C-alpha cells in the first residue's frame, strides 16, 4: 500500500472564537520586498501609502484603495472553507484552470497546493480573479519537480497581510481575522517521500520547525499539505494527537510528522 497523504490543522484555545466552520508558470514575478536569506523570500503587499497612491495588482493593473479595502478572512458570522490538494502537476496546459474550477465548485476560499512543478517564486493573478502564490526551486535551470502554492479567492486576497517562499517544499502566508490581535498563519507543505535520503527529510523538518517556532501562540496556526506519511494504528505515546483508526504500521515519515504535531501543540 502506498503512503497516504497527511494533513494537520493546529489551533489554540482562541480558535473556537473565530467560527471557521494551467498554464505553465509565469516568467515574471512581482516582488515587493526580498530578504537576503537564501532560505526564504518575503513578499509583502503594497499599502495605500505607496508612492503612486494606488494599490497595484500582480498583473500591474491599478485599482482604487476603496476596491482593495482589507477584510478579515475569519469571522464569527461566516464559514471559511480551507483545503489542501496534491495535484501532481500544474506544469501542464489547462491544469490550473481545472484546479480553480474545483476550488470554486466547493466554495473554497484558500487552497494549498502540493507538487506544482513550477520553478522559482512569485505570484500570478488569474483571469478568473484568483491569486496564486507559489514557491519552487530558485535555479532557472532546475527540473520541474516538487513546488508548493497557495491559491486565494478574492475574499482571501483582501485579508492577506504577506507571505513567504521557503523553497520548493514550504510556503506560508499570514491573514487578518475578525479579532484584530489575532492573525491566521497558513503553512502549506510537500514533504519528501519516506524513501528520500535522511538528509533531505531532516532538512525539511528542521526548516518547518523553525517556521512554526515563529508563529505566535495567540494566533490561529494552520499546518497542511502532503506529508507522505503513514501513522498506522498504534498511537502509543501519541494519544494526545492521534486516534487508532489508521491502517498498517507507522512509517519513519509518520513518526516525524507526529513529533512535529506534538511540538506544535505543547
DSSP state of 57: P
Can you give the three-state secondary structure of 183-205, one letter per residue?
EEEEEEEECCCCCCCHHHHHHHH
- Cβ 230 vs Cβ 254: under 8 Å: yes
pTM across the whole model: 0.77
Cell of 69: 479595502
Q: How many helices (H) and strands (E) does the chain have?
A: 4, 13
- Cβ 254 vs Cβ 235: under 8 Å: no
- Cβ 123 vs Cβ 132: under 8 Å: yes
- Cβ 85 vs Cβ 114: under 8 Å: yes
- Whether residue 77 is predicted with pLDDT greater than 70 in this model: the reply is yes
Can you tell me which residue has the cell 505566535?
Answer: 216
- Whether residue 264 is predicted with pLDDT greater than 80 in this model: the reply is no
pLDDT digits (tens, 9 = 90+) for 86-115: 999 999 999 999 999 999 999 999 999 999
Q: Rounded to whole angstroms, how far apart are CA atoms 259 and 196?
A: 18
- pLDDT band of 186, cuts 50, 70, 90: very high
Cα torsion through 34, 216, 112, 35, rounded to 10: 10
> Quick one: what percent of the chain has pLDDT higher than 90?
67
Distances from the Cα of 114 to the Cαs of 3, 77, 120, 216, in angstroms?
Answer: 15, 30, 15, 25
Can you tell me which residue has the cell 501542464?
Answer: 92
- pLDDT band of 10, cuts 50, 70, 90: very low
- pLDDT band of 71, cuts 50, 70, 90: confident
What was the pLDDT predicted at 207?
97
Tell me the torsion sign for CA atoms 73, 74, 79, 84: positive
Q: What's the N-to-C CA distance of the chain in angstroms?
A: 32
**Better pLDDT: 241 or 13:** 241
- Cβ 150 vs Cβ 130: under 8 Å: no
Distances from the Cα of 246 to the Cαs of 2, 229, 230, 232, 251, in angstroms?
Answer: 14, 11, 8, 5, 12
Q: Which domains does the chain have, with CATH numbers?
A: 8-228 (3.60.10)
What was the pLDDT predicted at 34?
32
What was the pLDDT predicted at 205?
97
What was the pLDDT predicted at 147?
98
- Whether residue 140 is predicted with pLDDT greater than 50 in this model: the reply is yes
Give the best-scoring range by mean pLDDT among 10-24, 33-47, 103-117: 103-117
Q: Rounded to whole angstroms, how far apart are CA atoms 113 and 236?
A: 31
What was the pLDDT predicted at 69?
60
Amino acid at each position: 500500500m502506498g503512503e497516504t497523504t497527511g494533513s494537520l490543522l493546529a489551533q489554540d484555545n482562541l480558535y473556537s472564537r473565530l467560527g471557521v466552520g494551467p498554464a505553465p508558470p509565469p516568467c515574471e514575478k512581482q516582488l515587493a520586498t526580498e530578504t537576503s536569506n537564501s532560505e526564504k523570500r518575503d513578499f509583502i503587499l503594497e499599502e495605500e501609502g505607496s508612492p503612486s497612491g494606488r494599490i497595484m495588482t500582480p498583473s500591474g493593473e491599478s485599482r482604487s484603495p476603496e476596491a482593495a479595502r482589507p477584510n478579515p478572512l475569519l469571522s464569527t458570522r461566516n464559514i471559511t472553507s480551507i483545503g489542501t490538494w496534491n495535484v501532481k502537476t500544474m506544469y501542464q496546459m489547462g491544469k490550473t484552470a481545472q484546479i480553480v474550477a474545483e476550488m470554486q465548485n466547493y466554495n473554497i476560499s484558500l487552497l494549498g497546493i502540493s507538487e506544482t512543478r513550477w520553478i522559482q517564486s512569485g505570484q500570478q493573478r488569474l483571469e478568473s480573479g484568483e491569486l496564486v502564490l507559489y514557491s519552487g526551486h530558485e535555479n532557472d535551470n532546475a527540473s520541474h519537480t516538487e513546488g508548493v502554492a497557495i491559491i486565494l479567492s478574492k475574499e482571501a486576497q483582501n485579508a492577506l497581510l504577506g507571505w513567504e517562499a521557503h523553497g520548493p517544499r514550504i510556503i506560508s502566508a499570514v491573514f487578518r481575522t475578525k479579532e484584530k490581535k489575532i492573525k491566521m498563519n497558513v503553512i502549506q507543505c510537500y514533504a519528501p517521500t519516506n524513501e528520500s535520503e535522511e538528509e533531505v527529510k531532516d532538512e525539511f523538518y528542521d526548516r518547518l520547525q523553525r517556521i512554526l517556532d515563529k508563529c505566535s501562540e495567540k494566533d490561529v496556526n494552520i499546518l497542511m499539505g502532503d506529508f507522505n506519511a503513514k501513522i498506522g494504528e498504534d498511537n502509543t505515546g501519541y494519544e494526545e494527537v492521534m486516534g487508532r483508526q489508521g491502517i498498517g504500521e507507522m512509517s519513519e515519515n509518520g513518526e516525524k510528522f507526529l513529533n512535529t504535531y506534538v511540538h506544535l501543540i505543547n
